[in-house]
Structure 1
């Protein structure tokens, strides 16, 4: 049986089986990680997994979970954030309109 050696920040070096390790490979390579529950202290330990670590863990029999980050989550957002007043104004508009599709067809309104 394959033994995987890892380190817990509290307990030091620990030995794990492939079933005890969770390997998540992300479409954004810097977000890939592996995690395990320390057999000694039971804390979850999560560490980044570069290509070399992924290759080692896969060769040791650790199953790979694929994680696809939606493109929308990676978009850069500029401009001011929505304030509580903006949310309240939006709620008041929704409350006062019977035909939401009709208001959506109107030209954009500027809120003060």
Structure 2
């Protein structure tokens, strides 16, 4: 059985089985990482996994989990970040828009009746 040696920042070197190591390979290479729960202190340890580390862990039997970052997460955004007031304003606007849409739907759903002025 393969033994994987890793390092816990609190306890030092620990020995793990491939099943005790989680390897996440990201579409953004610098975001790939491996993680494990230290067998001594039981804390989760997470470390970056470069191309060499990924290859070494896979060759040791660790199953890689692919992680594809959505393109939207990588876009650059200008302007100030949304705050609580922005979200509240939007929620209030949505409520008003829903009431307006409901009123419009009720009005257009009524059958039209002809009046003497419109009948000809």
User: 1:37 maps to which residue?
Assistant: 37
4 and 88 in structure 1: CA distance in 2 versus 1, 3 angstrom threshold: closer
User: 2:101 maps to which residue?
Assistant: 99
10 and 85 in structure 1: CA distance in 2 versus 1, 3 angstrom threshold: closer
2:53 equivalent to 1:46: no
Q: 1:25 & 1:82 partners in 2: Cα distance? A: 31
Aligned positions of 1:37-76 closer than 5 A: 37-76=37-76
TM-score (norm 1): 0.81
Q: 2:84 & 2:16 partners in 1: Cα distance? A: 49
| RMSD between aligned residues | 1.8
Structure 2 unaligned segments of length 5 or more: list them: 105-120
**How far does the alpha carbon of each residue in 1:8-38 deviate from its partner, in whole angstroms, 9 at most, with x for none?**
0011011111111000000000000000001
Structure 1 unaligned segments of length 5 or more: list them: 103-112
TM-score (norm 2): 0.76
Q: Secondary structure at the match of 1:99?
A: helix
**Cα deviation, residue 70, structure 1:** 0.6
Q: 2:4 & 2:46 partners in 1: Cα distance? A: 15
**Cα deviation, residue 96, structure 1:** 2.7
**Cα deviation, residue 91, structure 1:** 3.2
2:16 equivalent to 1:10: no
